[in-house]
Amino acid sequence: MSAPLAYIVHEAEPQLPLLADTIPADPQTEIQREVQANLIQAIDSVLRQITDPQLHEISQTILTEMLRFFEWLSRIENNLQKLDTLLESLSLLEVLEFEARSLIDYVDLKATVAAGRNERLHEVLDGISYGITHDLRRVFERELVRGVTEHSIPIVYGKIMHAHGLLTNCFQQSTITLLQVFSPQLDASKLFNDVELRLHQSLILCKDLSSLMRFVRLAQANGDPDVLRSVTARILEFRDGSMQYLMYKDWRGYEKLALEVITAIENNLDPKPLLHRFLCFLELLYGHVKMRAVLADEFPYSSKDDDQ
């Protein structure tokens, strides 16, 4: 068994980085520098298009914070190559959580209200708030990144790597959806130079949605308790896994319908009407995912025909 991290890393207790922009410079890879340059250019271009002073201020505040978040995530990514920096990475995650929650407070209390007259922006900000809150809760509450220093190094490393992946996807999607409010033609895959990653994620999403739909159809045809329990397990598995690759705007709809189905099954109610609604929603999601640009070569006719 590996020794606990707390006993194997002999170094002074790390200090949390200041919440201002005073984190010491960290060497970036060529890819990270390219992504950062692309992102700054895209943000500057979009901000120049926003003529409303209030909407400009809101967007600039949020996107500037996202740039800082990506800088910290890049540092954590680089730290994953060095086992003696795991405690520093945990400290950075704590700062990132604090700053992200502060940003959500800003979005909920000021930005969403100010954007009320712009229906599309209001909807996107609401989705950003919901999505970031969901992932912060998952990383820091449900999957217990806090208090992991008593675990072995492989466990700590794995939790940091998983948290980094979730938060990177979370903040990338938030940035993309906000930029596309003002620049719908923005190519998200080129922005973050991650075409292969997005293709991989979209294929996983298609596979898992297809599998979940098969289980729901089976439950519609066969109401056996074992089958219904299997559907419940699959619904929760998707929520805790591939749902992160959906658009934020679809998360709330999935969780609402999933809860209704699970509640009906657990209370021995007739779940068939709810299973039908849930299946229709999943089929709609599946059709939308197939139309993603990154999947054009996989589903060349999806934009014209989304029949299952």
What is the share, in percent, of the chain residues with pLDDT greater than 90?
A: 46
Residue pLDDT, tens place only, 199-219? 888 899 999 999 999 999 999
Whether 51 has a pLDDT exceeding 70, the answer reads yes
Take residue 207 and report the two structure tokens written for it.
Answer: 């596979």
Q: What's the CA gap between 148 and 295, in Å, rounded?
A: 38
Residue ranges of domains in the chain:
5-191, 195-295
* pLDDT of res. 143: 60
Query: What pLDDT is stored for residue 292 in this prediction?
Result: 80
**Is the predicted pLDDT of residue 161 greater than 90, yes or no?**
no
56-63 contacts, C-beta under 8 A, 24 or more apart = 58/110, 58/111, 58/114, 58/115, 59/178, 59/182, 61/106, 61/111, 62/103, 62/106, 62/107, 62/111, 62/128, 62/174, 62/178, 63/175, 63/178, 63/179
